[in-house]
């Protein structure tokens, strides 16, 4: 099932197909690809109708992003997507940048959301993550696409996992270079996440929220999730001991178990 009218993002619906089935929207991080969530499909499809989409400017929604493109624009695109699909209420799970989209969505259209899952996300910029994104941007500008893509696993995955999965990482790198979303789009998406700050509005988000972090995340300090959960009125914080920024991949079984327990709990 696709939503393509009037510029609405192209989507994929997997799992349950009944109109009244519980629905969850999955939103990826900076890479923007819906396929990022593949390790979660098996755990979610029996219980949920999954709305999967590539962010604007990536994958099946390839387009040149305008100057000043923002997290608010990304949230508005999800609102339009839900209306096109006639979805009145859903859960939303976002990873990193996708989590920022979830926070903005909760502020702009709270009636559309049942609950939130925010994975390695944040409410406001922090110096360490900014340094990491600045380095990645410098690699892209001054060395090139291949160097940018090759560096990405360093920020996503723990070293031990990288060594044990070297062939898989090499395949990801080749795919990343071949399907690169474009330097201008990456720059504008990084600028959007670095501008994002809702620290003074967290109290307005009353939805049940799972804030999940990993202690060994190299890109986003787990304390950002701690601060995020502290500012949300109805949040539960889970800090996994390891798994890195890409814990959805590196420890999918444990991650999926935590998420399913949260989604199954009564409101």
- Look at residue 173 in the predicted model and tell me its pLDDT: 96
Running DSSP on this structure, what letter comes out for residue 124? S
Q: Which residues contact 225 (CB under 8 A, 6 or more apart)?
A: 118, 120, 121, 122, 211, 212, 213, 237, 239
Structure-block tokens of residue 228: 């995020």
Quote the radius of gyration of the chain (alpha carbons, Å).
Answer: 17
As a CATH number, domain 5-264 is: 3.40.50.1820
Domain chopping of the chain, boundaries: 5-264
Determine which of 5-14, 139-148, 191-200, 224-233 has the lowest per-residue pLDDT on average: 5-14
Q: Which residues contact 63 (CB under 8 A, 6 or more apart)?
A: 56, 57
- Look at residue 62 in the predicted model and tell me its pLDDT: 95
Q: If you average pLDDT over residues 59-79, what whole number do you get?
A: 97
What is this structure's pTM?
0.96
| pLDDT 10s digits, 225-236 | 999 999 999 999
Strand partners, 240: 214
Q: If you average pLDDT over residues 69-84, what whole number do you get?
A: 97
């Amino acid at each position: 099932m696709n939503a393509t009218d009037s510029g609405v993002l192209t989507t994929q619906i997997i799992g349950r197909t009944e109109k009244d089935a519980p629905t969850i929207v999955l939103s990826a991080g900076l890479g923007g690809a819906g396929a990022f969530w593949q390790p979660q499909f098996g755990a979610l499809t029996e219980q949920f109708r999954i709305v999967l989409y590539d962010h604007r400017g990536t994958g099946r929604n390839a387009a040149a992003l305008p100057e000043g493109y923002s997290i608010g624009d990304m949230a508005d695109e999800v609102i339009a997507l839900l209306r096109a699909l006639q979805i009145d209420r859903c859960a939303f799970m976002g990873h990193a940048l996708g989590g920022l989209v979830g926070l903005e969505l909760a502020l702009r259209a709270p009636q559309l959301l049942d609950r939130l899952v925010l994975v390695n996300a944040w409410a406001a910029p922090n110096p360490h993550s900014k340094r990491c994104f600045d380095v990645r941007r410098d690699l892209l500008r001054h060395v090139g696409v291949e160097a940018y893509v090759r560096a990405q696993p360093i920020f996503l995955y723990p070293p031990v996992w990288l060594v044990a999965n070297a062939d898989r990482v090499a395949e990801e790198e080749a795919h990343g270079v071949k399907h690169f979303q474009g330097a201008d789009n990456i720059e504008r998406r990084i600028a959007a996440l670095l501008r994002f700050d809702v620290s003074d509005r967290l109290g307005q988000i009353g939805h049940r929220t799972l804030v999940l972090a990993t202690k060994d995340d190299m890109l986003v300090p787990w304390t950002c999730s701690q601060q995020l959960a502290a500012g949300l009125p109805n949040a539960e914080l889970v800090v996994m001991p390891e798994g890195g920024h890409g814990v959805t991949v590196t420890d999918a079984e444990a991650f999926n178990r935590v998420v399913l327990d949260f989604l199954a709990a009564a409101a």
